[in-house]
Amino acid sequence: MATEASPRGNTAPRKTAGPLSGYRVLDMTTFLSGPFCTQILADLGAEVVKLESPSGDSSRAIPPYFVKDESAYFLGINRNKRSVAVDMKRPEGMDLTRRLMDAADVVVENYRPGVLARMGIDIDVLRAARPGLVWASISGFGQHGPWRDQPAYDMIVQALSGVMSLTGEAGRPAVRLGIPAGDMVAGMYAAIAINAALADRERGGQGRTVDVSMLDCQLAMLSYQSTYALVAGVTPQPQGARHDSIPTYRSFVAGDGRELVVTANTERMWKGLCVALGREALASDARFQTGALRLTHREALWQLLEEAFLARPAADWIEPLQREGVPVALIKNVPEALNDARAAGRGMVASLCDEDGDTIEVVGNPIKFSGEPAAPATYPPRLGADARDVLRAWLDMAPPDIQALSDCGALTAGVEPPGRGADIR
C-alpha cells in the first residue's frame, strides 16, 4: 500500500481487524443516504474511497456550521474515508472511473435511475465482465416502478410513506421526524444488503446488484402500524408521545414543567406505576383491571396520571419509578444526550484529529465487537486529497500517468474548498 502523505490526516488506508478489512468500496454517493451507508462500511473496516466531482460532494457546502471551511454536515458522515476527485465529463475521467470500478469489490451510488447509463456506465455490462462485483444503488423510488424518475429527499419519502401522518399531535398539521430517517434508514438497509451480498460471494456465489428505495425502507419502518392498517383496515392517527395499544406508554409533564416518559408495558409495571405515584387504588379500579380496559378508558386514566405527575419535579420521579421496576427517562435535548453518551464511555462521542492536530467530536460507531478495541477513526478527507495514494494502490498507476491526468483536468488532487462560512471553533 502507498504511504505518501496526503494533505489530510488519513495518509494511508487504516490497518484494522474490522470484519470488512480487505474489501474495497468505491463510494459514488453524495449528501446523506449513500455517505451514511459507506461510513458504516468504513467503520467495519472496509477501505472506502469517495469518488467525487471536481466541486466535491454537495454536503461539503451545507450551512450554517463549518470547521476550517468544511461543513459540519459533511464531517459527521464521512469519517474513515479517502477522496479522489474526477471529472467524469472528460473521456480520461470516465476511463479512470471505470478502472476504479474494476478494482473495487463494491460500488455504491445514489444517482437518479438512468443517469449513469446516460453517462455511458452500464451496470449490467460491468457485472457481466466482473461477476463478483457488488453494485448497490440507493434511490428515492427504486430502479423500477412508476416513480423511478421522480426526485426524492428525506421529507418526500416521509410524506409518501405515511410516516409524517403518524408524527405530531392529533388535530395538528403533520410533522417531519426530527432525524432524517428517510435517508439514514435507506443507508442502513443498503449496508445490510451489501454485507449479505459479500457473504454470499464468499460462499462461492456471484456478486449482486442491490436496489434500495428510500420509500420502500420507510414503508418497512411502519412496523405494526402498517399491520394495523392492512389487517384491521384502520387509518393510524398521529401518535404524539403516546402509543396506539398501550396507554401507559407515553410522556408526562411533571411539576417543574419538564417532561419524562414512562413505558409501563406489563401488568407488573402497571402496578409498580400505581405504587410509585402513590395511587395504589388505581390498580384495583374496575376500569383499569386489564390492558384492554385501560385502553378503552385511556382518557380517564391519562387525566388521573397527569394529575399525579404534577406533584413532583420530573427528576424526582426517576428513583421511585425505577425502584418499582417501571422504565422511565427524562426527555433530554441533544447536548444533554451527548453529554450522557460521553460519560457512558462506550465511544459514542468520538474525537477526530486533522493534520494540524486539531480535533472535532462526532457521534461514533454503535457497532461493538466483544473483546475487540474500537479502531481509531480518521478525519474526513479533503476533496481529492488521496488521489495519488489511491491510484497507485488500486491501479498500480505510475506518478507520470497520475500527473498527466491532473494536467488534462481529469483529476483534481488536494484542492482546498473555498471559504463558505465562519469556523465554529
Residues with catalytic annotation?
183
Omega before residue 64 within 30° of 0, cis: yes
Closest residue by Cα to residue 93 from 418, 370, 413: 413
Cα gap 266→169, rounded to integer Å:
25
Stated length of the chain: 425
Q: How far is the CA of 77 from the CAs of 11, 358, 377, in angstroms?
A: 19, 18, 12
Start-to-end CA distance of the chain, whole Å, equals 35
Cα gap 360→356, rounded to integer Å:
12
Cell of 206: 456471484
DSSP-derived secondary structure for 106-162:
EEEE-PPTTHHHHTT--HHHHHHH-TT-EEEEEESS-SSSTTTTS---HHHHHHHHT
Cα gap 392→12, rounded to integer Å:
12
